[in-house]
Amino acid sequence: MLPRNMPTRKRIGRGSVLVIGATAAIAGAWASDARAETATEADSANRAGGRQPAAAAPDASGCARFPNAIVADLGLHVVNVGYQRTVSCWVVLQASAGLYVPWMVTDNVFGLGGGERKPDGVLDVAGFVVRARPFFFPTGSAPTGFWLSPFFQLGHVRGLPADDGPSFGGYAQSAGLSIGGTIPLGSRVLLALGGGAQLHAALFNGNTNPPGFATVGPHVDINLDVRF
């Protein structure tokens, strides 16, 4: 007959990981974005022979539940569509391509063009660019929370004539740095807002004479991501 007072083993409570990131707000104040990931422990060992169950390890893959995303990049000067991948809780990689119209420069908005950039007979400058960039999340909360993102883009542009004259080709390039944050709009939709500065240029016939340019200007990020 078994002893009445068999020693009992204490259960180990469930472990959890709390990932806290500061997220963007339009007014410039960052609301904190926190995500708790709770890992389940196996109880088969507890039922077999009264052995003490081990605490479940934190689920480090929680940040990559939906690691892939289709991106609509609606930032300053571009309307792009692309793809991004959460490669870790610290890094997201993104590539996109689409329409590029440097209207703030060619229209000399706030003096950013340094003067008139549209010579007689030229209506505008427009083209197609490809942009590549990483997003770094210092708090380890990717793909949401506060981030820093350097970027580079390159593409083909044309000077569009105001009349029926021929257009002429050139190329555009840009490099910059943006700071911002990403907030969830549900389990699969993310909104990223940010801003920074860029050095961008458009060259025609190997120079930056109008309608070409080379200048430092503002950069704005508005990204809508659908994850899968």
- Taking only the tens place, the pLDDT of each residue in 103-152 is 888 777 877 766 766 766 677 889 999 999 999 999 999 999 999 999 99
C-alpha separations of 210 from 32, 103, 164, 170 in Å: 45, 13, 19, 12
**Mean pLDDT score across all residues of the chain:** 76
Q: Where are the domains of the chain?
A: 63-227
Q: Is 145 left (phi over 0), alpha (psi -120 to 50) or beta?
A: left
Residue 57 corresponds to which tokens in the numbers above?
């390890």
37, β-bridge pairs: 17
Q: Are 181 and 175 in contact (CB under 8 A)?
A: no
**Per-residue model confidence (pLDDT) at position 85:** 97
| The dihedral formed by the CA atoms of 5, 7, 11 and 12, expressed in degrees to the nearest 10 | 160
Return d(Cα 96, Cα 107) in angstroms, integer: 25
Residue 10 corresponds to which tokens in the numbers above?
């204490």
Q: Are 192 and 181 in contact (CB under 8 A)?
A: yes
pLDDT in tens, 41-52: 334 434 444 554
Range with the lowest mean pLDDT among 14-23, 49-58, 64-73?
A: 14-23
pTM of the model: 0.70
Of the options 2.160.20, 1.10.540, 2.40.160, 2.20.25, the CATH number for the domain spanning 63-227:
2.40.160
Query: DSSP character for 64?
Result: G
